[in-house]
């Protein structure tokens, strides 16, 4: 009986975490559509002549995303047998995309954001197993704002 209760709670926790993750992805996709007009590129060169540029601004965005407890347990099991840990891939993807969106939100009038860099780091208590509890993604670049025509 205890095993049934445990497995039921695990399944409910997993389903709730998956539903919240899907909701976050939906939010990201909707906001990406809103900021699609602002390209964020890694090139250092500015594609506009200097006389068209009104200002250059440093913009950044940071996001800290945590994997839920139940997916962390599944990831530990996956570590035993090896292979791709999809819950951590999803965690990294969501954190990067959220950080880029937050960076773009700082400069909604920018024509382009150049020299974009993304850095990630894990946050949490490190143990002998090196489990990830949270992941931070930091995106930064230079927003180019053009003169109004």
User: Tens digit of pLDDT for each residue in 68-127?
Assistant: 777 777 777 777 777 777 778 888 999 999 999 999 999 999 999 999 999 999 887 655
Query: What pTM does this model have?
Result: 0.82
Question: Residue 149: its pLDDT value, please?
Answer: 65
Using left for φ > 0, alpha for ψ between -120 and 50, and beta otherwise, residue 89 falls in: alpha
Domain ranges of the chain: 2-146
Could you name the CATH architecture of 2-146? 2-Layer Sandwich (3.30)
Question: Residue 127: its pLDDT value, please?
Answer: 53
Closest C-alpha to 31, from 104, 91, 118, 139: 104
Exposed, middle or buried: residue 104 (CB in 10 Å: 0-12, 13-18, 19+)? buried
Instruction: Report the C-alpha gap between 93 and 96 in whole angstroms.
Output: 5
Parallel, antiparallel or unpaired: strands 112-123 and 53-66: unpaired
Is residue 45 helix, strand or coil? coil
């Amino acid at each position: 009986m205890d095993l049934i209760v445990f497995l039921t709670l695990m399944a409910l926790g997993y389903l709730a975490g998956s539903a919240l993750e899907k909701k976050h992805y939906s939010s990201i996709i909707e906001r990406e559509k809103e900021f699609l007009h602002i390209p964020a590129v890694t090139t250092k060169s500015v594609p506009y002549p200097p006389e068209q540029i009104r200002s250059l601004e440093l913009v950044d965005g940071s996001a800290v995303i945590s994997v839920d407890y139940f997916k962390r347990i599944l990831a530990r099991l996956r570590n035993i047998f090896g292979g791709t840990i999809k819950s951590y891939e999803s965690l990294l993807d969501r954190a990067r995309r959220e950080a880029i969106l937050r960076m773009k939100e700082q400069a909604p009038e920018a024509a382009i954001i150049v020299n974009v860099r993304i850095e990630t780091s894990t946050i949490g208590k490190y143990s002998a197993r090196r489990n990830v509890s949270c992941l931070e993604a930091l995106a930064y670049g230079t927003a180019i704002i053009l003169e109004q025509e």
